[in-house]
C-alpha cells in the first residue's frame, strides 16, 4: 500500500466512524455499533473501499490496548476482587457450555469433521471484552457492581481462550494432544498476571517521583504510553493476550489498587487526574479504529443468504451462542433476575476474539468457505444484537 493510500484509508476510517457513531448515538443506539457498521460499510461487505492490512491492524491493536488501559484505571480493584468468585463461575461456564454444546451440535448433528467441530466450538467460547466494555462506557455503567463481574469474567475468558486456542491449534496441526505446551502457556500467563500489576505499581511510583521535575512538555502521556506498550509486550512474551498487559498497567495506576506490604507506594491523585486528562483524547482517536477493523474483517459478501443449509446451521449456532453464555450468569447470586440477565447478555459478544478463531481455521485450511461464512454470520449477530439489549435492560439494574 502506498503511503498516500494509507492516509486516505485512515481518513475514511476516522471520519466515517465518527459520523456514524454520532448518528447512532443520536438515535439512542450505542455508538460502538456505528463504528462497527462503518467497517462493514467501508469493507468488502458493501463498498469494498478499504481492505484490512498490517498497518491498520497495528493501529487497531493500539486502540484496544489503550481501551483496556482506560478500563483498568477506572476499575474499582476492591469490587473486582470481591467479584472474583462470581466472575470465575460466569467465565468457566461461559467457556465450557458453548464449547461442549457447539462441538456436539457440529460433530453429531451436522456431522462435520472433528477438526471443524473443534474450531467451531472454540469460536463459540469467545467473549469480546472490547465490545462489552465499550457498550458499558457508552451507557455510563462501567463502574457498577455488575460491570465489575462482567469485566472480571471477560478477562478470565480471554486468558482461558488464548490457552484453548493454543490447544486447538496444536491439535489441528499435529493431531496430537500436546498438554505440555498448553500447560506451559497456562503457567506463564498466570505468572504474568501475578507479577505484572506489582511491577506496574512500582514503576508508577518512579513516574510520580519525577513528575514535578520534567522540563519538556508531554512527560505524562509519553511515559504512560511507553508503560502500556512495554506491558503489552511482556504480556505477549508470556503467551497472554497483549490487552491483559495494558489492563494490568491500568489496574496498578488506579486509585484503589494496593500492594501487600507496599503501603509506602501512595497513589498521587493529582498525577492520576493528569494521566486521565492527557490520555483520554489519544484513547478516543485510536479506539474507533479497532471497532472499524472488526467491521472490516466481517465479510458478509461470502455468505449465501439463499441457502437453507446456511440458515439452518447459522440459526442453530446462534441459539447455542446465546443460550450457553446465559446459563453461567444464572449460577451466581444476584439481587434480582434482571441482573443475571444483564450479565448473561454482556458475555455474548464474540467480536474480534471469535474472528481470530475463525480466521485461524480458514488460513490453515480447516474451515471451508461455507462453514467460514456461517461462523462470520454467527459472530456478526452475536456482536450486533447484545449492545441493543444491554442499553435497554441496564437502565433497570437492581442496585
Mean pLDDT of 130-148: 78
Distances (CA, A) of 172 to 168, 220, 361, 364: 6, 46, 9, 9
Quick one: fold of 3-396? Answer: Na+/H+ antiporter like fold (1.20.1530)
- Whether the per-residue pLDDT at 393 is higher than 50: the answer is yes
Average pLDDT, stretch 189-206? 70
The reported pLDDT for the residue numbered 320 is 93
For position 263, what pLDDT does the model report?
A: 41
- Between residues 327 and 205, which one has the greater pLDDT? 327
The x, y and z cell numbers of residue 195, run together, are 507479577
Question: Does residue 256 have a pLDDT over 90?
Answer: no
pLDDT band at 1 (very low <50, low <70, confident <90, very high): low
Q: Which of 160-169, 266-275, 294-303, 326-335 has the lowest mean pLDDT?
A: 266-275
- Tell me how far apart the alpha carbons of residues 234 and 223 are, in angstroms, rounded to a whole number: 16
| pLDDT score for 261 | 37
**Residue 107: predicted pLDDT:** 92
pLDDT > 90? residue 338: no
Q: Which residue has the higher pLDDT, 145 or 113?
A: 113
pLDDT band at 176 (very low <50, low <70, confident <90, very high): low
Each domain of the chain, given as residue ranges in start order, spans 3-396
Instruction: Give tens-digit pLDDT for 6-55.
Output: 999 999 999 999 999 999 888 877 788 888 899 989 998 889 899 888 89
pTM for the predicted model, two decimal places: 0.73
pLDDT attached to residue 100: 93
Reported confidence tier of residue 170, pLDDT bands at 50, 70, 90: low
Predicted pLDDT of residue 10: 93
pLDDT in tens, 122-133: 888 878 777 777
User: Can you give the pLDDT at residue 213?
Assistant: 65
Which tens digit of pLDDT belongs to each residue from 199-244?
767 776 777 676 666 666 777 888 888 888 888 888 777 766 677 7
Q: CA 240, 297, 329, 89: dihedral to nearest 10 degrees?
A: -10
User: What pLDDT band is residue 78 in, cutting at 50, 70 and 90?
Assistant: low
pLDDT of residue 269: 62
Instruction: Give φ, ψ of 142 to 5 degrees.
Output: -70, -10
More confidently predicted of 190 and 144: 144
Q: Mean pLDDT score of the chain, rounded to an integer?
A: 80
pLDDT for the residue numbered 268: 56
Question: What are the pLDDT digits (tens) for 51-75?
Answer: 888 899 899 889 888 887 887 777 6
Residue of higher predicted confidence among 198 and 7:
7
Higher pLDDT, 286 or 298: 286
Highest mean pLDDT among 35-44, 299-308, 356-365: 35-44
Residue 286: band (very low, low, confident or very high) from pLDDT cuts 50, 70, 90: very high
More confident residue, 86 or 316: 316
Amino acid at each position: 500500500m502506498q503511503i498516500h493510500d494509507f492516509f486516505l484509508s485512515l481518513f475514511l476510517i476516522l471520519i466515517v466512524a465518527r459520523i456514524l457513531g454520532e448518528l447512532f448515538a443520536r438515535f439512542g443506539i450505542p455508538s460502538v455499533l456505528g463504528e462497527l457498521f462503518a467497517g462493514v460499510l467501508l469493507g468488502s461487505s458493501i463498498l469494498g473501499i478499504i481492505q484490512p492490512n498490517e498497518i491498520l491492524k497495528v493501529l487497531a491493536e493500539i486502540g484496544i490496548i489503550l481501551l483496556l488501559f482506560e478500563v483498568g484505571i477506572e476499575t474499582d480493584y476492591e469490587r473486582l476482587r470481591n467479584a472474583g468468585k462470581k466472575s470465575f463461575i460466569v467465565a468457566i461456564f461461559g467457556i465450557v457450555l458453548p464449547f461442549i454444546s457447539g462441538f456436539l451440535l457440529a460433530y453429531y448433528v451436522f456431522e462435520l469433521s472433528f477438526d471443524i467441530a473443534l474450531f467451531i466450538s472454540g469460536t463459540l467460547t469467545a467473549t469480546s471484552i472490547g465490545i462489552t466494555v465499550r457498550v458499558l462506557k457508552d451507557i455510563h455503567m462501567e463502574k457498577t457492581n455488575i460491570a465489575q463481574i462482567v469485566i472480571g469474567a471477560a478477562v478470565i475468558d480471554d486468558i482461558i481462550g488464548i490457552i484453548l486456542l493454543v490447544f486447538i491449534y496444536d491439535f489441528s496441526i499435529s493431531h496430537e494432544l500436546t498438554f505440555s505446551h498448553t500447560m506451559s502457556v497456562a503457567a506463564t500467563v498466570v505468572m504474568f498476571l501475578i507479577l505484572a500489576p506489582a511491577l506496574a505499581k512500582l514503576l508508577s511510583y518512579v513516574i510520580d517521583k519525577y513528575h514535578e521535575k520534567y522540563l519538556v512538555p508531554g512527560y505524562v502521556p509519553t511515559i504512560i504510553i511507553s508503560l502500556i506498550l512495554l506491558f503489552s509486550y511482556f504480556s505477549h512474551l508470556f503467551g497472554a493476550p497483549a490487552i491483559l498487559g495494558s489492563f494490568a498497567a491500568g489496574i496498578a495506576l488506579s486509585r484503589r489498587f494496593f500492594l501487600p506490604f507496599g503501603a509506602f507506594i501512595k497513589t498521587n491523585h493529582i498525577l492520576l487526574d493528569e494521566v486521565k486528562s492527557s490520555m483520554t483524547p489519544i484513547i478516543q482517536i485510536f479506539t474507533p479504529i479497532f471497532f472499524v477493523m472488526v467491521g472490516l474483517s466481517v465479510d458478509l459478501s461470502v455468505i449465501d443468504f439463499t441457502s437453507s443449509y446456511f440458515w439452518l446451521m447459522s440459526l442453530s449456532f446462534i441459539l447455542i451462542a446465546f443460550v450457553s453464555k446465559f446459563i453461567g450468569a444464572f449460577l451466581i447470586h444476584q439481587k434480582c433476575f434482571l441482573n443475571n440477565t444483564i450479565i448473561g447478555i454482556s458475555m455474548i459478544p464474540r467480536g474480534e476474539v471469535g474472528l481470530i478463531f475463525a480466521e485461524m481455521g480458514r488460513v490453515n485450511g480447516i474451515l471451508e468457505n461455507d462453514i467460514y461464512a456461517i461462523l462470520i454470520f454467527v459472530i456478526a449477530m452475536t456482536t450486533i444484537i447484545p449492545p441493543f439489549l444491554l442499553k435497554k435492560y441496564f437502565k433497570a439494574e437492581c442496585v
